[in-house]
Amino acid sequence: MSVFGRHAFGFRMPSIVFGIAAIFIFYLICRTLVRRGLPTLAEAGRAGTWNYWFQPVVFVPLLATFLFAVDPLSFDLAHIGMLDVFSVTLMLLGFLFYLRGRQQPLGGRRVYYYGDRYRHAWQRQENC
């Protein structure tokens, strides 16, 4: 409120920012989960074509994200000045980091940076 002002915009704007961030984080989580056992985004086709958007690896995360965005509870919490949306967003962010961390070798910044040599067998099976 000291940043945005002492009115409705001031005490509801942080919730909106975190609510919009939660949409992106939820999309990344869904894309990470759906990617297992399915063709990668690069194999699904060229982005922008009609066939591309209806591939499961593309369509399922988008549908889930759309349902999350228009869900009445998350929608209401994302534009009123309550504290729930902050905890939800940070929990989703933690879960995303957990998923990403499982896919990377310990201490590594990028999977492709080290190649497949140092990745464990269970990681090779379920990744990409």
Partner 1 sequence: MYGSSDLLILCATAAVLVCAGIYLSRLRFRYIALSIIGLAFFSFCLALFSLTVSSELTDLHKVILAMFIRFAVPLVFFCLSSIVTIRLAINRQHTPDNKPAASSLIDRYNSGVMAAWAELRRWFTRAENRAVCAIAWVMAMVHLYFINKPTFYLGDEGYYVPEANRILNRQALLVLEHPPLAK
Q: Would you tell me which residues interact with partner 1 (CB under 8 A)?
A: 1-3, 6, 8-9, 11-13, 16, 19-20, 23-24, 27, 41, 47-48, 53, 58, 61-62, 65-66, 69-70, 75, 78-83
Question: Which token pair is 56?
Answer: 């499961």
Comparing CB distances to partner 1, the nearer of 6 and 117 is 6
Least Å distance, CB 48 to partner 1, is: 5
Q: How far apart are CA 126 and CA 76, in angstroms?
A: 36
Least Å distance, CB 37 to partner 1, is: 19
Question: Which token pair is 75?
Answer: 């929608």
Amino acid, single-letter form, for residue 52: Y
Least Å distance, CB 63 to partner 1, is: 10
58-76 b/e (C-beta count within 10 Å ≥ 16 → b): beebeebbeebbeeeebee
Least Å distance, CB 80 to partner 1, is: 5
Count Cβ atoms below 10 Å from residue 101 Cβ, excluding itself: 11
Comparing CB distances to partner 1, the nearer of 110 and 117 is 110
Comparing CB distances to partner 1, the nearer of 12 and 119 is 12
Comparing CB distances to partner 1, the nearer of 2 and 125 is 2
CA angle 115, 118, 124 (to 5 degrees): 75
